[in-house]
Amino acid sequence: MHKRTLGLAALALVAGVAAHAADLPSNILYDANTDKKTLWPQPVANSGVVKYNEHRQDLSKWVTLSYEDKRPTRKAETVELKGDLNGDAKRGKEIAMNTQRGNCWACHVMPGDAQGGTGGPTLVGFKHRGYPDSYVYQTIWDRRAINPGAIMPPYGTNGVLPEQDIRDLVAFLQSLD
C-alpha cells in the first residue's frame, strides 16, 4: 500500500498539481489518475481488514472533494421536522438498500445486508441510541448542520431524496433492534 501511495504522489507531480496536493491533509489520498481527481481516505496499511485512518475533517476547501469540479457546494441546511413523522419503515428499508436511492449501506452496516460499508458508524441496534426523530431527520437531510466536517451526503439539501423518503428512512432506522 505504501508503494501505491508513493505512486499516486508521483502521478500528482507529473500532472502538474503538486501545489494543490501539497496543501492536502497528510491522511488523505489524492488520486490524480481519476477523471475528477478524487480524494480518498488513507487506508491503514497491512491491517488485514478494511480500515481507514481518521478522515472526518473539514475538506470544504476542496469543492465536492474534487479539484476539477467547479460547482459551488451548497450551504448546510438546518431543517425542522414538521408534524408527525408519518414514515413507513418498510419503504425506508427499500430506499436505504437501493443503490440508486439512499445507498446507505455503501457506508453503514445495516441488518439484512451481507457486508455493509465502513465509512460511517454501524446502524445496527439504532433504536437503542434513543435519538429524537428530529435529530435523525436532520442527519439524513444534511449532517453538516450537526458536524461541519461530515462526509455523509446531504440528501435533503442536494435534492437527492424528497422529504417523504427521508421520513421513511427515519422510521426504518428507529425500528432497528
Binding interface with ligand HEC (CB under 6 A): 56, 96, 102-104, 106-108, 119-121, 129, 136, 139-140, 143, 147, 150-153, 155, 169, 173
Residues ≥6 apart with Cβ < 8 Å to 166 = 137, 140, 141, 155, 156
Residue 115 in contact with residue 50, Cβ under 8 Å? no
By beta-carbon proximity to ligand HEC, the closer residue of 32 and 104 is: 104
| Cell reading at 13 | 507531480
By beta-carbon proximity to ligand HEC, the closer residue of 11 and 119 is: 119
Q: How far is the CB of 86 from ligand HEC (least distance, A)?
A: 17
Q: Are strands 28-31 and 38-41 parallel, antiparallel or unpaired?
A: antiparallel
Q: How far is the CB of 105 from ligand HEC (least distance, A)?
A: 8
By beta-carbon proximity to ligand HEC, the closer residue of 32 and 95 is: 95
Q: How far is the CB of 43 from ligand HEC (least distance, A)?
A: 16
By beta-carbon proximity to ligand HEC, the closer residue of 15 and 133 is: 133
Q: How far is the CB of 96 from ligand HEC (least distance, A)?
A: 6
CA dist 29 and 170 (Å) reads: 33
Residue in the block written with cell 441488518? 111
The H or E element spanning position 40 is strand 38-41
